[in-house]
Amino acid sequence: MKEKIRDTATQLFLERGFKSITMDDIANEIGMSKKTIYSEYSNKTSLVEDCVMNKFCILSDGIDLIIAMEKNAIEELYEIKKYVMSHLKDEKSSPQFQLMKYYPKIHKSLKMMQFNKMHKCVLLNVERGLQQGLFRDNVEPEFIARIYFTGMNSIKDLTIFPLEQFPVKNLMDSFLEYHLRGIVTPKGKTILNNIINSNQE
């Protein structure tokens, strides 16, 4: 029962935002009484927290599986981006922005978890790229990992990148290309261009 409530609420929150969706909306979507939801969750905040943390764990496990496939470093980043995008819908409601505004404590915890996960993943990715001769040997992995996280958070700021001007998918593609073009070797550039060209076909 709890899993059904959480899964339905997560889908609604991602589609329409944390602020817009009420407990009534969730109850109606599942076809149960609001009282049943409150028997599992004391309030909306506890439900939001459970949804957010569960989604983070699912994404985190999926990213680990992609990394375990040991693709080349450039393909790996595109596979991770594709995987994350498939799970976060189009983010038309900008759930991350709403989370920060209406549930700051949950957002703060999530951001720290995201930093730790992304920091570790990007460090491993840069090291792999260096070993494969795809990234320049004078890049500083620690700097790259931190600037990547900072950039990824900045593009989620709707005041800087409004959705109507910067659709999420295009923005993610542009950011990833921007990131990679700054660190690739000529060998890496060839792989990057091939991926970009194949994505445009």
Q: How many domains does the chain have?
A: 1
Would you say residue 3 lies in a domain? Answer: no
Q: Cα(46)–Cα(42) distance, rounded to whole angstroms?
A: 7
Residue whose tokens read 């920091």: 119
Would you say residue 7 lies in a domain? Answer: no
Would you say residue 32 lies in a domain? Answer: no
CB 136 within 8 A of CB 184: yes
Candidates 4, 187, 168, 166; CA nearest to 82 is 168
CB 23 within 8 A of CB 34: yes
The residue ranges of DSSP E strands in 52-191, in sequence order, are none
Round to the nearest angstrom and report the end-to-end CA distance of the chain.
44
Would you say residue 169 lies in a domain? Answer: yes
**pLDDT tens series, the chain, 201 aa:** 999 999 999 999 988 889 889 999 999 999 999 999 999 999 999 999 999 999 999 999 999 999 999 999 999 999 999 999 888 765 555 777 788 889 999 999 999 999 999 999 999 999 999 999 999 999 999 999 999 999 998 998 888 998 889 988 899 999 999 999 999 999 999 999 999 999 876
Question: What's the pLDDT at 157?
Answer: 85
Would you say residue 192 lies in a domain? Answer: yes
Q: Cα(192)–Cα(58) distance, rounded to whole angstroms?
A: 28
Tokens in use for 172?
């993610």
Domain with 168, as residue range(s), is 44-200
Phi/psi for 69 (5° steps) reads: -75, -15
pTM, rounded to two decimals? 0.89
Q: Cα(38)–Cα(19) distance, rounded to whole angstroms?
A: 18
CB 2 within 8 A of CB 40: yes
The DSSP symbol for 69 reads: T
Phi/psi for 184 (5° steps) reads: -75, 155
CATH number for position 192: 1.10.357.10
Beta pairing partners, 135: 184
